A and B are shown apart, each in its own frame.
Chain A
Amino acid sequence: MAADGSVLVGRTEGVTSLQRFARRRSTIAFLMTLPLILVIGGLVAYPAVYAMYLSTLNRTMVRNIGLENFAILLDTDTFYMVILQSCIFAISAVLLKALIGFWLAHMLHDIPAKGQRKWRGMLLIPWVIPPALSTLGWWWMFDPSYSSINYLLNVFAVPSVPWLGEPWWARVSVIIVNVWYGAPFFMIMYLAALKSVPEQLYEAAAIDGATGFQRLRYITLPMMRNIISITVLFSLIVTFANYDIVRVLTNGGPRDLTHVFATYAFQVGILSGNVPRGAAVSLFMFPLLAIFAFFVLRGVTRRNKEEA
């Protein structure tokens, strides 16, 4: 097709109707994508650049202080805890989500096809409820004096747990809620991937006498490798930048020990009114996210090429 050169062709004198058509087509295409370009340019690209500029200003935003904000942040213990907590939170939550999701996807795949729909529908519910609202429910379940989880633990003679009151337990609670919310997503993605593995491969393996573990190791995992890495990386991005769960459940406490980047940026930038430093906190996420995003994109393009 007269794809890339269409604009040039159209500009020459004495256009034939076909060339005029080509010119019109690229103009139309441009007009059709214009709103998209405006949204991406105005509300994503520009703010991204603006964030970098903001982060170099002082608190009152009148003076440029270079990288001072970043230096100050790296000087405080709280911020180190934020970095540490973000990493603990993202890595353990994603790992658990992926493992639970993988396991459940397999279990769903194992049961007869007509029952799958019902189970799948039920197990996806945590993902459907807006996380800010379901976290409210968790908060209530973790409530120190009325905790219904502790009640169940006590029934089994396990002592009560100070879910949100003690730093490590608060960290665990935040991870539990995130895993609860995110595991169904992994389950659905892996189930879709499992369904696309050709059944003949398993039949051939069964004839060759492969054990269940061998089938997993030599058929399922290689066939799903791409989708596993895409979902894990994608989830790392989302979990690393998570805000809702920490905000509702602990709001950063106890003693600022469960803050992740997003909640800390919110605390510094919006609640304390130091917009430039808040922007700097957010920007600390950027390098890691960029690396993850690069690999997601690579995985997706590779997948498209395989399918093409």
Chain B
Amino acid sequence: MSTSTATREMPDIYHKAGSLSSERRWALWTAYISLIFAAIIFLAPPVYMFITSLKTSAEVANLTGSPWLVREPTLENYAAILGNPTFLVFFWNSVKITVCVVLITMVISTLAAFALARMRFWGSQALATGVFLTYLIPETLLFIPLYQIVGGLGLLNSSWGLVVVYPTLTVPFCTWIMIGYFASIPKELDEAALIDGASWSQMLLKIFIPVAMPGIIAATIFAFTVSWAAFVYPTAFVTTPDEMPLTIGVVSQLVRADTFAWGQIMAGALLAALPPVIVYAFLMDYYIAGLTAGATKG
């Protein structure tokens, strides 16, 4: 872009080299300015939530001065929210649901992905395509019939009902990326195992799972984040506060309880968002691998 008209008119190699380095410097500046700008905008909402969570209600209501500054930081909102039994119930429900869903998902998708990646059988190709198509179906398309079905099972207003339906969000994508990881394991490995007389279960447990561990971690993180953040199903299926997971609990109960307890709402929202953020902070590479695997690995 910064190749000036002068260099274009005199296309000799030495000039080119000079222009390349100035172009490089210019590109670096644009890059850093754009990134700083983007980082400010991207991080502003969580930072502002954090700022608000440190304010007393009186300070939140005080309209003089910048809302972006905290004058008397206090942890009373965190103390209040952590002492609130309803919030702890939401947290416990989220943990319970997420652990169950992650376990169910990983068992189902590891088994299925192993079969689909290695044992070609009648319809396996169609099933793999079906898995991917299922991943493309948004949950908002099916929540009304599922509402009837879950109601028919008597699981409305129960966190177990959510454990039943969440796998529709997690299983297709996890299976899909696991197929990719399993398919990338060299065939020689399982041939060697077969010659040594290994059974299918031994092959899966002793070869595939250890070798595809990064894929399994990525899929587990995906299942965890999705079931932690799920919002449509709990909003539709759960209306009693005792059975609510965090997302809908914070959004419906805390807001409804007292519209002006903004500090507490923000503290609650941040605490609710913490587990996925912690997982992300420590396992960023796996997280990103899982995110991009869907489209780039196929």
- The segment out of B20-28, B79-87, B211-219 that lies at the interface is B20-28
Interface string of B202-229 (1 = CB under 8 A from A): 0000000000000000000000010011
Interface residue? B257 (CB, 8 A): no
Interface residue? A146 (CB, 8 A): yes
Q: With contacts A123-B39, A126-B42, A130-B228 known, is A33 near B144, CB below 8 A?
A: no
Interface size class, chain B: 35 or more
Q: With contacts A180-B42, A262-B140, A270-B236 known, is A33 near B49, CB below 8 A?
A: no
Interface residue? B192 (CB, 8 A): no
- For residue A196, which residues in chain B have a CB less than 8 angstroms away from its CB? 296
- For residue B119, which residues in chain A have a CB less than 8 angstroms away from its CB? 25-26, 28-29, 32
Residues B33-71 near A (CB distance < 8 A): 34-35, 38-39, 41-46, 48-49, 52, 60-61, 63, 66-68
- For residue B120, which residues in chain A have a CB less than 8 angstroms away from its CB? 1, 3-4
Interface residue? A257 (CB, 8 A): no
Interface residue? B136 (CB, 8 A): yes
- Tell which of B32, B235, B298 touches A111, judged by Cβ atoms closer than 8 Å: B32
Interface residue? A134 (CB, 8 A): yes
- Tell which of A25, A104, A131, A278 touches B38, judged by Cβ atoms closer than 8 Å: A104
Give A117 to B35 CA distance when docked, in angstroms.
Answer: 13
- For residue B138, which residues in chain A have a CB less than 8 angstroms away from its CB? 237-238, 240-241, 262, 285, 289
Give A279 to B236 CA distance when docked, in angstroms.
Answer: 13
- Tell which of B41, B44, B171, B232 touches A39, judged by Cβ atoms closer than 8 Å: B171
- Tell which of B1, B109, B287 touches A212, judged by Cβ atoms closer than 8 Å: B1
A148 lies within 8 A of B277 (CB): no
A43 lies within 8 A of B16 (CB): no
Interface residue? A189 (CB, 8 A): yes
- For residue B11, which residues in chain A have a CB less than 8 angstroms away from its CB? 209
Interface residue? B18 (CB, 8 A): no
Interface residue? B14 (CB, 8 A): no
Residues B142-175 near A (CB distance < 8 A): 142-149, 164-165, 167-168, 171-172, 175
Interface residue? A221 (CB, 8 A): no
A234 lies within 8 A of B31 (CB): no
- For residue B108, which residues in chain A have a CB less than 8 angstroms away from its CB? 35-36, 39
Give A200 to B290 CA distance when docked, in angstroms.
Answer: 28
Residues A96-125 near B (CB distance < 8 A): 100, 103-104, 106-108, 110-111, 117, 119-125
Q: Is the interface of B mostly helix, strand, loop or mixed?
A: helix
Instruction: Give the Cβ gap from B269 to chain A, nearest Cβ, in Å.
Output: 4
- Tell which of B134, B165, B236, B292 touches A40, judged by Cβ atoms closer than 8 Å: B134
Q: With contacts A48-B145, A128-B277, A132-B251 known, is A137 near B137, CB below 8 A?
A: no
Give A242 to B231 CA distance when docked, in angstroms.
Answer: 11
B142 lies within 8 A of A47 (CB): yes
Interface residue? B91 (CB, 8 A): no
Give A237 to B135 CA distance when docked, in angstroms.
Answer: 11
Give A284 to B175 CA distance when docked, in angstroms.
Answer: 28
Give A293 to B136 CA distance when docked, in angstroms.
Answer: 6
Q: With contacts A126-B42, A241-B138 known, is A32 near B111, CB below 8 A?
A: yes
Interface residue? B295 (CB, 8 A): yes
Interface residue? B198 (CB, 8 A): no
Give A104 to B42 CA distance when docked, in angstroms.
Answer: 12
Q: Which residue of B lies closest to A134 (CB)?
A: B45
A25 lies within 8 A of B200 (CB): yes
Q: By CB atoms of chain B within 10 A, which of A124, A133, A193 has the most?
A: A133
B107 lies within 8 A of A35 (CB): yes
Interface residue? A296 (CB, 8 A): yes
Instruction: Give the Cβ gap from A96 to chain B, nearest Cβ, in Å.
Output: 12
Interface residue? A80 (CB, 8 A): no
* New A-B pairs, 4, CB < 8 Å, besides A35-B108, A265-B143: A148-B68, A152-B68, A275-B147, A275-B148
**B-to-A contact residues, CB < 8 Å:** 1-3, 8, 11, 16, 20, 23, 27-28, 30-32, 34-35, 38-39, 41-46, 48-49, 52, 60-61, 63, 66-68, 107-109, 111-112, 114-116, 119-122, 124, 127, 129-134, 136-149, 164-165, 167-168, 171-172, 175, 200, 225, 228-229, 231-232, 235-236, 247-248, 250-251, 255, 262, 265-266, 269-270, 272-273, 276-277, 280-281, 284, 287-288, 291-292, 295-296, 298
Nearest 3 CB-CB pairings of A with B: A241-B138, A130-B229, A262-B140
What are 18 residue pairs bridging A and B, where the CB atoms are less than 8 Å apart in the complex?
A: A7-B121, A25-B119, A29-B119, A32-B115, A39-B168, A50-B148, A51-B142, A120-B288, A121-B281, A128-B225, A128-B277, A146-B63, A148-B68, A244-B232, A262-B232, A265-B144, A270-B147, A301-B298
